[in-house]
A = this chain, B = another copy of it.
């Protein structure tokens, strides 16, 4: 991995562990044993770095969608939730949860990049839920887009709450989401 990618990777981890305002270029440069100014060589501003990080996640979502395209809706949603569950165990939260916190302080460019990632996620979830409902895999009464948002809000909220309470709470909430969808 080249320095540029290492910076993105480290920045990504730091944002999802501590938050945008709680990490600095020094945290990255110290870890990589380079100087502060060298990060500015790749990313002129902190905004530029966070945009690259968001774009990485947009591409990862595309890859994720392609990888599971053959699977059934229940399996798709389960794997989607597992990604968050895996990150949570590593002390990290989702990039959406981490960055939404500072949304109002971001430049328009960062905001619109974050909107793309959010819309992509909601759209994919809505489509998957619709297919699953038609097939009879899922049973729910809500409007599908609202149900998709409820899925995301449960994850984002569970990430936050389980920081304060206990980590296993996240898993309990995750299981409950799946059961609720299947209406068991």
Cα–Cα, bound, A168→B63 (Å): 31
Interface membership of A131, Cβ < 8 A: no
* B102 in contact with A161 (CB, 8 Å): no
A23 → chain B closest CB, angstroms: 10
- Give residues in A with beta carbon < 8 Å to B: 17-19, 21-22, 91, 96-98, 100-105, 111, 114-115, 118, 122, 141-143, 146, 149-150, 152-158, 160-161, 163-165, 169, 172-173, 176, 179-180, 184
Q: Are B102 and A19 in contact (CB under 8 A)?
A: yes
**A141 contacts B102, C-beta separation under 8 Å:** no
- Residue of B with least CB distance to A91: B104
Name which residue of chain B comes closest to A156, CB basis: B157
Cβ–Cβ contact B160 & A100, under 8 A = yes
Q: Is there an interface contact between A97 and B160, defined as CB atoms closer than 8 Å?
A: yes
Beta-carbon contact of B149 and A161 below 8 Å: yes
Which B residues are CB-close (under 8 A) to A17? 104
Collect the chain B residues with CB atoms within 8 Å of residue A184's CB. Answer: 141
Q: What are 18 of the A-B contact pairs (CB < 8 Å)? A: A18-B105, A19-B19, A21-B21, A21-B22, A96-B161, A97-B160, A98-B101, A101-B101, A115-B164, A118-B161, A118-B165, A149-B158, A152-B161, A153-B153, A153-B154, A153-B161, A154-B157, A156-B157
